[in-house]
């Protein structure tokens, strides 16, 4: 039976790996079945069609990069600065296909060609930015300064995966730590 050998999450994670490797066109039911070592018939026990799988993949990614991370940070408690440090630690240490940078970059690229994906990406980015604003407002009362700090954090997070320059004697982690300490000052 498909549910015993290939749980729904296996199809979703396999789809996310394919997306990260080759974009949305690489998410093919037959190829996913091959990668899972099963027939494609099991797929239809979970999903009506490929579009349903793509939606589930985006839902899973959205929960992982927004809801799950925010819930983890909030569960750790502390003031705004403590939670921002925790956010950097959690976001930087999460492993898995749902939080992998290649998955995010593939979704960002996909959003350039698909308005529905662009809408979802804006929702995720807005949720993350609103959370950053909430944390910065706990210790920074100038709204312009809050916005600048949020923009720096978001830009460094995304750009750090797109740029190829080095940091001299510093590691990328060193520079991220310096950015964090600067925006928390």
* DSSP secondary structure of 16-74: HHHHHHH-GGG--HHHHHHHHTS-GGGGGGT-SSHHHHHHHHHHHHHIIIIIIHHHHHH
| C-alpha to C-alpha distance for 147 and 154, rounded to whole angstroms | 10
Task: Return the bridge partners of 170, or none.
Answer: 167
- Per the CB < 8 A criterion, the answer to whether 74 and 53 are in contact is no
pLDDT tens-digit map of 98-152: 778 899 999 999 999 999 999 999 999 999 999 999 999 999 999 999 999 999 9
User: In the numeric block, which tokens belong to residue 60?
Assistant: 């899973």
| C-alpha to C-alpha distance for 45 and 49, rounded to whole angstroms | 10
Does residue 15 register a pLDDT over 90?
yes
pLDDT tens-digit map of 27-52: 999 999 999 999 888 899 899 999 99
- Per the CB < 8 A criterion, the answer to whether 32 and 41 are in contact is no
Q: Which domains does the chain carry?
A: 55-184 (1.10.357)
pTM, whole model, 2 decimals? 0.87
Please report the pLDDT score of residue 91 as a whole number.
Answer: 80
DSSP 8-state class, residue 179: H
User: In the numeric block, which tokens belong to residue 164?
Assistant: 């190829």
Does residue 61 register a pLDDT over 90?
yes
| C-alpha to C-alpha distance for 103 and 23, rounded to whole angstroms | 9
Does residue 1 register a pLDDT over 50?
no
φ, ψ at 170 (rounded to 5°) = -90, 150
> Helix 143-159 crosses helix 172-184 at what angle (to 10 degrees)?
170
Please report the pLDDT score of residue 59 as a whole number.
Answer: 97
Q: Name residue, tokens 């949720």.
A: 127
């Amino acid at each position: 039976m498909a549910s015993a050998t290939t749980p729904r999450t296996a199809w979703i994670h396999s789809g996310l790996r394919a997306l990260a490797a080759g974009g949305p066109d690489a998410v093919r039911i037959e190829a996913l079945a091959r990668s899972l070592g099963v027939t494609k018939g099991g797929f239809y026990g979970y999903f009506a069609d490929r579009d349903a799988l793509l939606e589930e993949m985006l839902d899973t990614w959205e929960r992982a990069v927004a809801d799950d991370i925010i819930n983890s940070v909030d569960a750790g408690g502390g003031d705004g600065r403590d939670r921002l440090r925790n956010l950097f630690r959690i976001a930087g240490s999460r492993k898995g296909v749902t939080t992998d940078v290649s998955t995010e970059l593939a979704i960002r690229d996909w959003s350039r060609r698909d308005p529905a994906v662009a809408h979802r990406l804006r929702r995720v980015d807005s949720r993350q930015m609103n959370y950053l604003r909430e944390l910065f407002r706990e210790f920074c009362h100038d709204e312009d300064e809050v916005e600048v700090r949020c923009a720096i954090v978001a830009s460094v997070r995304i750009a750090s995966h797109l740029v190829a320059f080095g940091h001299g004697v510093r590691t990328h982690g060193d520079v991220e730590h310096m950015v964090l300490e600067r925006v928390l000052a």
